[in-house]
Every structure is written in structure tokens, then in C-alpha cells.
A and B are shown apart, each in its own frame.
Chain A
Amino acid sequence: MSKVFSRTLETTLKKISIIVSALVGALVGAIIISAGKNSQGMSVYHVLLENNLILQHLLIFFVINGFLLMILTISNASGLVASEIHEGTFKLLAAKPNSRSQILLGKILGTIAGLTILLLVSLLSYFSTIVIAHRIDGNVIREMISFFPAYFLYGVFVILLFTGVATLLSCVFKRKLTAMLPLLVVVVVALGFFPIQRFMASIRGTSIVTAIKYIDLNYHFALVFKFFVEMIETIKPDEVLAYLMNLFSVRMLDSDVTRIEWGGKILSANDSLSVLPVILFYGAITVVSYISSFAIIEKKDI
């Protein structure tokens, strides 16, 4: 198992993945710095403090722990079994005196370890960019970096969940692409469709949709993200977070007003769902996915 672990870790940490992770981290850092510079002479740190680090939270949620981490996870985990079976290499792995579960366990652990390192690379690249590119205001930098454990833990949650489901799909389907597609749809829906739909609804003047709370994947992930972030510091109500992550409800001060205006409204936490059941639900999906993967691989014809 240890050899399969090392081999999988090695393939997960491909040069290109490390470079992309570092570049994306640096790019997010550059966006933060750029946002600061464009703010009428205020330093980036003042801007960040003023908006309670909303921009940092958003970019980490959507870019580093979002598209980057999810796509890296799906891309690696979907091929764990499907690619090897399709290409014929799994037949010889299974012909050696190891149980298939041992092989799969080595692959899963290797993937999780590799992705965790890529997550660290990306986050460290982000923080390094901010620290290196600007003169350091110690207090602000400390506050920004203080969220590192929260971002890391949420990233690990994403890695465990997506690796579990992708591994299961990889055990079920014969091709990596087929195993990848359902999860890519999930990413697009969670990080693209729901936030855009909510934003468009707000422009049209309709209220933010909470009726679909059970299928609003964006809201579910945002709740978990908020849970980890608020271990460090409470997120203050923010309109952008209301539209893009559904974390806050926008309520009109005047009930006769049907069109949302930028003024005249109050924000309150969107507590349509509690975070604990959401975490338990996705935790259960993760556990069931891993258990099912082991059961399937043992019975699968190769």
C-alpha cells in the first residue's frame, strides 16, 4: 500500500499542478493588492479592514478552495481507478499479491496527501504574494493570515468530499471523463449557476431565493466555509456575500417596496439551514462514498 501511496502522491504532485496552484494563489494575491490600490488612495490594508476581509473570503472561497481545488481534486480522483482500468494498468496492479482495497486505500491516501500539499502551495503562495508585494502593516497582515487555518480546514473538507465522490464514480465508470462530468456539473452549479442566478434575481428586483435551500449547493458550501471562518472571526453582514454566497438575507425596510434598491434594506444572517446538519449530510456522503468504493472495487471485473 505504501508504494501505491508514494506513486499516487508523486503523480498528484505533477509539476504543472504545483505551478498552477502557486500561480493561482499569486493571482488571487495580486487581485487583492490591485483592489487596494484602486481605492482612492487608501492602502490595501485599510480597504481590507474596511470591508472586513470580504474580498479575501470571496476569492479564497470561489478561486482557491473553489474552482482550483475542486477541479484539481476531480481531475486526480476521477482517474484513480477508471483511468487505470481503461488503460489496462490496473490489471497488473491487481495481479500482484495485494488486496484491491489495499491498492485503493493507497491511491486515496496518496491523492488526499497530494491535494493537501497543493492546497498549502496555493494558500502559501497567496499569503506570500501579499506579504512580499506590499509594505507590511503588521496588524493587518496578522489578521489576514489569521484566517489561514480556516481556509485550510475548509479546503480539507472539500478535498475529502470531492475525493470520496470522485473515487466512487471512478470505481463505477470505465472512463475518467465519464467519472469527472457529474462532479464538474456540481462545481459549475455551486460556484457559477446559483450565485449568478441569485445576482440576476436581485437585479430584476425579485427577492433572494431561499425556497431552494435544500438543493442550493452554493449555499451549503458557503455555510461550511462560514463555519470554519467564524472559528476565527465573525463575518459581518455584507451585500456581496448575500448575493454570491447566500449567507445573508436582504430585507426591505419598507414592505411596500417591491424593487430592491441599494439603500433602504437591512441584512440578516440567512439561517434557512443550520450548518451542523449540512456538515453531517456531506460528511455522510463522503463516508458512504469511500465505503462504497471499497465494496465496488473488490467485486469489480477488471
Chain B
Amino acid sequence: MSEYCIELENLTKKFGKFTAVDNFSLKLLPGKVYGIIGPNGAGKSTTMAMIMGSLHPTSGTGNVMGHDLGSKEALQILGYSPEFTSFYDDMSCVEYLWYMGTLSGLSNEEAMEKAISLIKQYELVDHAHKKVAKFSTGMKKKVSLAQAMIHDPKILLLDEPTANLDPTSRMEILNTVRTMVKDRNLTVLISSHVLTELETVIDHVVMINHGKLIMDEEISTAQEKFKQGILVVSCNNNELLFEKLVGKYTVETARDSIRITADDVNNLKKEVVRVIFENDLVLNVLHEEVLSLDLLYKQALEGENGNE
């Protein structure tokens, strides 16, 4: 049996003449959190929908723990929260979760027990008997997450779980995801536009543009690969430090620090320490700039567009 829990091979999805996903291959290891990022229309949701079997690939194949995409066995393993979740107008939160539980093969009692447990876990107790369709966007997202978890899936697919949410709700949702991953050792494939938040959750980045895979790396590996050798320095006289280094290096002033770019960061570090020592300055900060997911995204995308 394969070590991967999801394997996609050369998946292509066309809508008429438009190619939404183009020859896309991906392998997911169990127990990891994968962030799938890319611009609007890049093919993230289409890819997730194909994994779920909602969309049929035009060509290519895939499996979930050896089961065909969209098969009952694959769906038993997967939990899915789509970007836009719609609920039945006449169902309360507990009724909806119970219904989704029974559809997942749980008995009436098991489904009710599970629904109540998830309602408590997601702090929806006060709203359990209110109509879900009338919930706020944040609460609907929670219910959407809860229904995805109702049958204890091994793999969770979350399509834009924080879209259109206020910062508090976003943090709540992400904390919920963090807890789920930690408690249950889930494999998660999550897409989001809010990259600064996403990087606190994921440990693997999958980047997609124009339906094509352009990056599939551990986030630390990706950061290492794309880092530019930027040193962030702050001392008691940043102006003087700036004067001493400008001309030799590319130096930019930031609010309380200066950013220095060099091909050889180790030599730069020595030079900075020498200048600090010789001018009797007090060093406050000295560190290499870590590439944020945001910057990583921009650089990878710029590189991709430059190659076209």
C-alpha cells in the first residue's frame, strides 16, 4: 500500500474551452497540513471538488488511500467544507448535523451524540436549536466544519474556511482547525487567501496557478529555496549604520530597523558586527529575514509569470 493518503495523477478539468486544472499531480502524506494557495481562478476549488468526486476529471486519475475519487470508500475517509456552504432553511443546527451524520452512516443515536458533541466543541450550544440558514457567516463556517467532522474523517478538505470572516471569527476558525489537527492527527488540505494566517497552520505548501502546480514543498524548504539573503539590523544609531553600509550593499530603511540585502549573508553579518564595534554602537536586533508565505507566494508567482 502506498505511503500517500491522496494521490492525484495528471488531473485535468476543462469547462468547455477553459482549462481550470491542467495536468495536475500531487501526493499527500498522512498527518500533515497542506496549504493550497493561488490566485482567484487558479483551480484550487476545482481540485478539491475533483478529490471529493463532485467534479469528474476530464482526464487523469486519483485515489484516496487506494480508493477511486468519489467512491463511497473514499468519501468515508474524507471530510469536506466547501467555500460556500448552503443550509436547508427549515433545519436547526442540531437537526442539520444529525441529518449529515445519518447520511454518513451513523445510527440515529450515534449521529445525535456526535452532533451534540461537535456543537459543544464549536461553542454553538446557545444556537443549537436555531435555524442554521439564519446564522452569521462565522457561525455557518463552524457548522460547515462540524458537518465535515461528523463521521470522524481521516482527511479534511477545507476550501477557504476563513473567507468573508471578521478577524475574530478567522482566528476562531483557525484555532479550531489547529485543535482538530493536534487532537486527531488529521491530514488537512486547506485553501485560503489570508496567507499570514495560513502559515501558522500549514507545514506544506502547494501552489497552483492557471490550473498548474508550481510549488509542492515543505514550507521551510520553500522558504529556504526562495530566501534572498536579507539581514534585518537595528542599533542605537540606525542612520550612522546606514551611512557606513550604503554603497557596499543594498540597504533600505524600515521603521525601527534597516534591511540589508547581500549575496553572501555570512560576510554581511561580519561586516555589520565590525561596523557596530568600530563605531561603538549598541546592537539591538540582528537576524535573517524569514520569508513569509505572503512573500513566498509573490515571488513564486512572479517567477511563474516571468517564465510565461
Footprint of B on A, CB under 8 Å?
3-4, 7, 11, 87-89, 91-99, 299, 301-302
- Of A3, A87, A95, A98, the contact of B54 (CB 8 Å cutoff): A95
B82 close to A97 (CB less than 8 A): no
- Of B55, B85, B100, the contact of A96 (CB 8 Å cutoff): B100
Q: Which residue of A lies closest to B89 (CB)?
A: A87
Q: Indicate if B72 sits at the interface (CB-CB under 8 A).
A: yes
What is the count of residue pairs linking A and B with beta-carbon distances less than 8 angstroms?
55
Footprint of A on B, CB under 8 Å?
49, 52-56, 72-73, 75-76, 78, 80, 82, 84-88, 90, 99-100, 102-105, 147, 151
A98 to B104, CA, bound (A): 7
A87 to B54, CA, bound (A): 15
A281 to B161, CA, bound (A): 51
CB contacts (< 8 Å) of B99 on chain A: these are: 3, 7
Shortest distance from the beta carbon of B296 to any chain A beta carbon, whole Å: 31
**7 closest Cβ contacts across the A-B interface?**
A88-B86, A97-B75, A97-B76, A96-B103, A95-B80, A302-B54, A3-B102
A96 close to B82 (CB less than 8 A): no
Q: Which residue of A lies closest to B82 (CB)?
A: A91
Shortest distance from the beta carbon of A211 to any chain B beta carbon, whole Å: 44
Given A87-B86, A92-B147, A96-B103, the answer on whether A302 and B55 have CB atoms closer than 8 Å is yes
Shortest distance from the beta carbon of A128 to any chain B beta carbon, whole Å: 29
CB contacts (< 8 Å) of B56 on chain A: these are: 299, 301
B52 close to A97 (CB less than 8 A): no
CB contacts (< 8 Å) of B85 on chain A: these are: 88, 92
B54 close to A91 (CB less than 8 A): yes
B100 close to A97 (CB less than 8 A): no
Q: Which residue of B lies closest to A106 (CB)?
A: B103
Given A92-B100, A95-B75, A96-B75, the answer on whether A301 and B80 have CB atoms closer than 8 Å is no
Q: Which residue of B lies closest to A7 (CB)?
A: B99
CB contacts (< 8 Å) of B90 on chain A: these are: 11
Q: List 20 A-B contacts (CB under 8 A).
A: A3-B102, A7-B99, A87-B86, A88-B85, A89-B87, A92-B80, A92-B82, A92-B147, A95-B52, A95-B75, A95-B80, A96-B75, A96-B103, A97-B73, A97-B75, A97-B76, A97-B105, A98-B75, A301-B55, A302-B49
- Of A11, A91, A98, A301, the contact of B103 (CB 8 Å cutoff): A98
A289 to B75, CA, bound (A): 28
A4 close to B103 (CB less than 8 A): yes
CB contacts (< 8 Å) of A91 on chain B: these are: 54, 82
Shortest distance from the beta carbon of A171 to any chain B beta carbon, whole Å: 15
Q: What DSSP secondary structure best describes chain A's contact surface?
A: helix
CB contacts (< 8 Å) of B104 on chain A: these are: 96-97
Shortest distance from the beta carbon of A93 to any chain B beta carbon, whole Å: 7
CB contacts (< 8 Å) of B53 on chain A: these are: 94
CB contacts (< 8 Å) of A301 on chain B: these are: 54-56
CB contacts (< 8 Å) of B100 on chain A: these are: 92, 96
- Of B54, B87, B151, the contact of A97 (CB 8 Å cutoff): B151
B103 close to A93 (CB less than 8 A): yes
Shortest distance from the beta carbon of A285 to any chain B beta carbon, whole Å: 28
A159 to B192, CA, bound (A): 47
CB contacts (< 8 Å) of B80 on chain A: these are: 92, 95
Instruction: Please name 20 further chain A to chain B contacts, defined as beta carbons within 8 Å, in addition to the given A88-B82, A302-B55, sorted by A numbering.
Output: A3-B99, A4-B103, A87-B86, A88-B84, A88-B85, A92-B82, A92-B85, A92-B86, A92-B100, A93-B103, A94-B52, A95-B78, A96-B103, A97-B72, A97-B73, A98-B103, A301-B54, A301-B55, A301-B56, A302-B49
Shortest distance from the beta carbon of A96 to any chain B beta carbon, whole Å: 4
CB contacts (< 8 Å) of B55 on chain A: these are: 301-302
A89 close to B88 (CB less than 8 A): yes
A7 to B49, CA, bound (A): 25
Query: Which interface residue of B76, B85, B86 has the most chain A CB atoms within 10 A?
Result: B86
Q: Which residue of A lies closest to B144 (CB)?
A: A92
A131 to B284, CA, bound (A): 98
CB contacts (< 8 Å) of A4 on chain B: these are: 103
